[in-house]
Amino acid sequence: MDFFKYQGTGNDFILIDDRARTFPAADQAFIEHLCHRRFGIGADGLILLQTDPEYDFRMVYFNADGAEGSMCGNGGRCIVRFAHDLGLFDSETRFLAVDGEHLAMVSDESISLKMTDVTGIEDRQGLTFLNTGSPHVVCFVDDLESFDVVSEGRSIRYSEPFQPGGTNVNFAQVVDENTVFVRTYERGVEDETYSCGTGVTAVALVAQHELGMPSPVFIRTLGGNLRVSFNPQPNGGFDSIYLIGPAKRVFAGTITV
């Protein structure tokens, strides 16, 4: 079986063309093995591209622990690039993911991915929480470079307000009037990742809601730069949310199933 490795601002994924439905998607241990950075290919997650009668394709996403996950924004941008490389569409696409329909536009330099609408931002025991296709906490800090993202993120990820499923945790520092530096602890990976698409989307919306930062918000991550555009709603929600940034093929190979 052929596989393809893609990355979006350092968030890396194994992409499989599974239109024939031959991949053993129920084998969690096998998927975890493929994502292992020493004994497998190495990735933050694995994504299957499957057919759907009403869409250009269907995205099925698995975390690095082998369990099927919630929406992944950078993974979404990577599968759009993959589908474009496969010739499934020209410049615009409409596909289905676990959180519903997504639209995307492709250029040589970037993928513009429409995210799901956000109905509102919550306070959960003093922590700012929202769902951007995946659950996220957003915390603003003063010195993000030296912040212990893994320890603090893991503590929040498993804390009582977010059980039983847990949450992703984003730590953010304002750089200027329209730029934020973000580091993310991702559940399923159980570590800090170089970038998280649904996470930076969450940070951008909270930056507008709490700090009045205008759209688009420019995001710096360890893996590169992204931007998030959106339309605030009077009820505290957001629509027309787009995650914009690069997605590139890294290499291809063959695995034995």
Give the residue numbers annotated as catalytic, written as ranges.
72, 196
| Dihedral of alpha carbons 138, 187, 199, 150, sign | positive
**Please, which residues have CB within 8 angstroms of residue 115's CB and are 6 or more apart in sequence?**
71, 73, 102, 132, 133, 198, 201, 241, 242, 243
Give the whole-angstrom CA distance, residue 248 versus residue 128: 32
CA-based torsion, 170, 117, 71, 242: positive or negative: negative
Distance, in Å, from the CA atom of 3 to the CA atom of 197, rounded to the nearest integer, reads: 22
89: CB partners within 8 A, 6+ apart = 56, 83
Tokens of 176: 């200027």
